[in-house]
A and B are shown apart, each in its own frame.
Chain A
Amino acid sequence: MGGVSEPYDAIVVGSGITGGWAAKELCEKGLRTLVLERGRHVEHGRDYVTEWWQPWQFAHRGLGEQQLYERDYPIQSKNYAFGEATRHFFVNDREHPYITPDDKPFRWIRGYQLGGRSLIWGRLCWRWSDLDFEANRRDGHGVDWPIRYRDLAPWYDYVERFVGVSGERLGLPHLPDGEFLPPWEMTCAERHVKQAIERAFPGRRMMVTRVANLTRAHHGRGPCQARNQCARGCSFGGYFSSLSATLPAARKTGRLTVVTDAIVESVLYDTRKDRAAGVRVIDANTGGEREYAGRLIFLCASTLATAQILLNSKSRRFPSGLANSSGELGHNLMDHISKAGATGIVPGLEDKYVYGRRPTGTYIPRFRNLGAHGEEKVAFLRGYGIQAGASREGWSRGASEPGLGADLKLRLREPGPWEMSLQGYGECLPRHENYVELDPERKDRWGIPLLRVHCAWSENERAIREDVKSQAAEMLEAAGCRSVETYDHDGPPGFSVHEMGTARMGSDPKTSVLNAYNQAHDVPNLFVSDGACMASSSCVNPSLTYMALTARAADYAVSELKRRNL
């Protein structure tokens, strides 16, 4: 995979959504960059082994192998994208253990392969606003963000232009518009529900989600073919991933070296120079150790893995983990609440249907605690957005209704009624007591201390769930839906796969790990730009913000490197 000799100008740990961006930016700015990925190599296209399989080609027809899942994938199999077609992009839980207290389960969803979870992500792309960046300062939870929307806005522009985000412009100050490709279409039933909700609840809006699925060809990728099977991998490059987009761009510079099956055990620290010197790596297959030297280190290993690496990077100067003079490393872990909402049947429109499988849904932006004049007071801080969608029921409805024979077959030949579903995604407060640490004794098969995760929801998140359910039901009632029912499939933190916040950004080195440029306060040539850097969680899907922060951090790091400040 290339033969740049050491020391590298930059080492990027992880090849997921932020590792890919760091690699692209650093390579394009002239740095000879090494990307280390702990998982196996995956070749775009060729290794999407199930991409072309039709339903009848799956041995278990999508129902999967329950015994196997219970034994080897008890956590991963709870993720919506996990299944017979995608299992090879998720880790085997038995081979990759971590520890949680009995009363505090945490679901750590992982994909150990080149491209990481960018192969299996949900692809929703939202900008944060100052409602989010000022939230900690406003209500006193966590520490204030060292940046505001104006700092990140040009970088949102920059990453959106490359990613290719389809979406609608709504002009909402708290969910800023971006540079969008044409949006996906709403279904007939969604148009009906949208109009009814916007009429009954002034200020609430519904739109098609902003999503990294290309509605037209973009930088030689796509367009998306409307198969809605993204997590199998897409050889059209119809959705954004490290494999379809950023790593090829990095490779084009001739400065990229990728090494897979390389587990970063720790970051090496040079006490004399007061700098990170490189990384120690364990070969996933042979168990052999080796070191790579680099002038600049970007940790993009994912929130928990990055914390684990830093906590395991102990030295005389940093006895509790590298860059941890604040004591906040590993703390303030957050996720989003989800899987609470309501469903209902949209009456009529029986002569209407869809063509194709849209790879996304619709979205009702946050409408609580916006600080608007005269808005309704609620019993919780911050807010939630609602992911929604309406589609006609298919043949599977036959399994929950009586009837059999030719009548049943004839009935299921027709699509069923339009079902509308609303699901809240809510903000989680940053709390010091939600944290990860290294187990003092237990180690994985490579000798790395196991991560112990301590994380639980607070009253505020529970109150958000309640409001989501009642508001979702009210909106469906207002839209004239039948059979409106709320649901609440509460799960442990981690299940929204938006874990973030173990090495938070902040202005004060005494209370935060990273500065306004994702640079470690304690170690100038060490940057963390994955979800670990987050000081609060907003209620919107975080990946686009990680990408913008990474591009911005890379720009800053390279300029500092050129000024010889690193």
Chain B
Amino acid sequence: MQHLQDVIDRREALRRAALLLGGALAAPTVAGVLAGCEARSVPDAAWRPRALTPDQADLVATIADHILPETDTPGARAVGVHRFIDAMLAESYAAEDRARFLAGLADVDARARQTCGRAFLQCTTTDQRGLLLQMDREAFATTPAPEEAPFFRTMKELTLVGYYTSEVGATRELRHAPVPGRFDGCVPLAEIGRAWAV
């Protein structure tokens, strides 16, 4: 209930902000804020994908977790990369791009049936990883035009964006300074330690 209350509070805050801003220009921005807040606030059990089926969302989360797994920091599934990908498919992608992505997911299952005899999620972790490594090699064997990118390139890009722009990805896996306050053009890498998130 805590989460739900948060959403309601934000909704009210944004409604007031919208009144202050006035005009049509502010409205889509505010809608975007709401979408972002909801995606973050809804607990896992209550979250429902909009472009994906629950099974497809599980498949996306599993592939994403193979791409960026849990190490000494959480992996892609734990930070909700699949939610971000679902939001992109539902809100940003054109119908044909969404269809291409879903066909790519179906193809993962089709190839899993060939290589391990079952749908991807029913394969062993080792078999899953083997298939994805194969798809990764194929995807980067050539450099296609962006509109003809193989599914795995798209999936990998979305996973990386979703992960490294997440709070965990930006602040625990990488380094993030919201307000650096100054710029030093040449410092030892050891002083920073990790790559900057932004």
Contact A353/B166 with A65-B91, A395-B197 known, Cβ cut-off 8 Å: no
Chain B residue numbers with a CB within 8 Å of A70 are 94
B47 at the interface (CB under 8 A from A): no
Contact between chains at B88 and A63 (CB < 8 Å): yes
Which residue, B22, B91, B129, has most C-beta atoms of chain A within 10 A?
Answer: B91
Contact between chains at A356 and B183 (CB < 8 Å): yes
Contact between chains at B197 and A55 (CB < 8 Å): yes
| Chain B 55-86 residues near chain A, CB threshold 8 A | 66-69, 71, 84
B39 at the interface (CB under 8 A from A): yes
Contact between chains at A355 and B192 (CB < 8 Å): yes
Contact of B186 among A57, A87, A354, A410 (CB under 8 A): A354
Residue of B nearest to A50 (CB): B29
Q: How far is the CA of A525 from the CA of B99 in the complex (A)?
A: 61
Chain A residue numbers with a CB within 8 Å of B91 are 59-60, 65, 67
Q: How far is the CB of B189 from chain A (nearest CB, A)?
A: 4
Chain A residue numbers with a CB within 8 Å of B153 are 399
Chain B residue numbers with a CB within 8 Å of A394 are 195-197
Q: How many residues of A contact B (CB 8 A)?
A: 68
Contact between chains at A355 and B160 (CB < 8 Å): no
Contact between chains at B189 and A404 (CB < 8 Å): no
Contact A56/B25 with A67-B92, A401-B140 known, Cβ cut-off 8 Å: no
Chain A residue numbers with a CB within 8 Å of B183 are 184-185, 226, 354-358
B119 at the interface (CB under 8 A from A): no
Contact A62/B161 with A190-B185, A354-B184 known, Cβ cut-off 8 Å: yes
Q: How far is the CB of B66 from chain A (nearest CB, A)?
A: 6
Residue of B nearest to A398 (CB): B160
Contact A412/B195 with A62-B165, A70-B94, A225-B180 known, Cβ cut-off 8 Å: yes
Contact A395/B192 with A56-B167, A226-B180 known, Cβ cut-off 8 Å: no
Q: How far is the CB of B89 from chain A (nearest CB, A)?
A: 11
B156 at the interface (CB under 8 A from A): yes
Contact A66/B92 with A191-B186, A354-B183, A356-B180 known, Cβ cut-off 8 Å: yes
Residue of B nearest to A55 (CB): B165
B42 at the interface (CB under 8 A from A): no
B35 at the interface (CB under 8 A from A): yes
Q: How many residues of B contact A (CB 8 A)?
A: 70
Q: How far is the CA of A414 from the CA of B139 in the complex (A)?
A: 24
Q: How far is the CA of A415 from the CA of B166 in the complex (A)?
A: 18
Chain A residue numbers with a CB within 8 Å of B173 are 409, 413
A64 at the interface (CB under 8 A from B): yes
Could you pull out 22 A-B pairs where Cβ atoms are within 8 angstroms?
Answer: A40-B23, A54-B178, A58-B165, A61-B84, A64-B92, A84-B32, A88-B26, A185-B184, A186-B185, A187-B185, A352-B186, A353-B191, A355-B191, A356-B180, A396-B161, A398-B160, A402-B139, A408-B68, A409-B71, A413-B173, A413-B194, A415-B189
For the complex with contacts A92-B25, A352-B186, 20 further pairs of A-B residues with Cβ separation under 8 Å are: A49-B17, A54-B170, A56-B166, A60-B84, A66-B92, A67-B91, A84-B32, A350-B189, A353-B191, A355-B182, A355-B191, A355-B192, A356-B180, A356-B183, A357-B196, A396-B160, A401-B140, A404-B66, A413-B174, A415-B196
What is B's interface to A at a CB cutoff of 8 Å? 17, 20-23, 25-26, 28-29, 32-33, 35-36, 39-40, 66-69, 71, 84, 87-88, 91-94, 97, 129, 132-133, 136-137, 139-140, 153, 156-157, 160-162, 164-167, 170, 173-174, 176-192, 194-198
